[in-house]
Amino acid sequence: MIGERIKQARIAARLSLRQLSERMDNYVSAQAIHKYELGRAMPGSDVLIKLAKALGVKTEYFFRPHAVQVTLSEPAYRKCLSVSEKHLRSIQAQAKGWVEKYLEVESLYPASRFTQIKLPNEKQRTIKKIEDVEKLAVSLRELWELGTDPIENLTAVLEDRSVKVVMLEGEDDFDGCSCWADERIPVIVVKRGLAGDRQRSNLAHELGHLIMDVHPPVSGEKAAFRFSGAFLVPEAVVYQELGRQRHALDLLELEMLKKKYGMSMQQWIYRAQDLSIISTSRASVLFKQFRTRGWHRQEPGYAIPTEEPERFKRLVLQAVTEQLISAARAAELLGEPFNQFRKSLQVEFAQEAAHS
């Protein structure tokens, strides 16, 4: 068990055996660490203390058994060609550890409280032509009872419907990935620190990867990108906002639509092009204007706020309140120093008392 814990923490930290040894000031060799991971040798308490410090975990981490273990399917990565294999393995290890903690916390409550994700039927999820994506997006919105109004908080919508949303640090070329845990639990990983509109686009993109069964000649990536826009702003809504045919789109108009629907100005241009509201040449002119002014990286005007997953933390706080776990265990689950977590609890309780 200790060996498995050491290996998972090392991979999550993106360290090779040699790099971990060096971070420990070569207190033990890379070969010795390898033996620990294989279970062929047992590290002493002095080694465990140094391993914990080098890996950024507490020594208790090595001894705590996995209350829940999951198997992740092969993730679908975006823009992964220039992302190192080590980083991809790190993301997968971090996601696995996070999902296991999440399910451990859920196991504290009655199973009836948590349901599996509801998805359209197999036929609706089969994509043989790009237009099928538009229909699927509408079907999912209907199934989830979202109507056609703007989605105020996409992360909350996903979490409320049993999708595990993970935010991790990532390299520049990593946007997100998605997979299934134990073939039944949807997991979406997105890069932390992105602008809100890009984050929402990535979340919807990965949702598309999770639920679509794409067949040639349709490209999986193109289908996921189309799904992202169609789920955020369905076809009928786009026609309602833009009309069915336009000679041009005004930048201020696009900014106002971005603010209303939480979808970037550039994705609005793509939606208008995909639905033949504007010509491909007109879209190209607009995209060139964005690139020339550097707006393709950071759009002008209103900035969509970044969303944060909150459900896991709420469940942990409920578990502390109901005395299902200790405050120390809660701090460990949340990855916060115990003193910091205790202070935050005291502040919350004081604010609650002031309002009561």
pLDDT band at 7 (very low <50, low <70, confident <90, very high): confident
- Residue 147 is given by DSSP the state T
Full-model pTM: 0.81
Look up residue 304 and give its two tokens: 């969509």
Q: What are phi and psi of 148, to 5 degrees?
A: -120, 5
pLDDT band at 346 (very low <50, low <70, confident <90, very high): low
Tens digit of each residue's pLDDT (9 = 90 or more) over 71-128? 888 776 554 445 677 778 888 888 888 999 999 899 888 888 888 899 999 999 999 9
Residue with tokens 């997100």: 176
> For 144, how many CA atoms within 13 A lie in the half-sphere containing its CB?
25
SS3 for 281-342 is: HHHHHHHHHHHHCCCCCCCCCCCCCCCCCCHHHHHHHHHHHCCCCCHHHHHHHHCCCHHHHH
Tens digit of each residue's pLDDT (9 = 90 or more) over 144-191? 999 999 999 999 999 999 999 999 887 667 788 899 999 999 999 998
Of 83, 94, 306, 73, the residue nearest 202 (C-alpha): 306
Is 173 in a helix, a strand, or coil? coil
pLDDT of residue 123: 96
Number of H helices, E strands in the chain: 18, 6
Q: Report the C-alpha gap between 181 and 179 in whole angstroms.
A: 7
Higher pLDDT pick, 16 / 4: 16
- Residue 39 is given by DSSP the state T
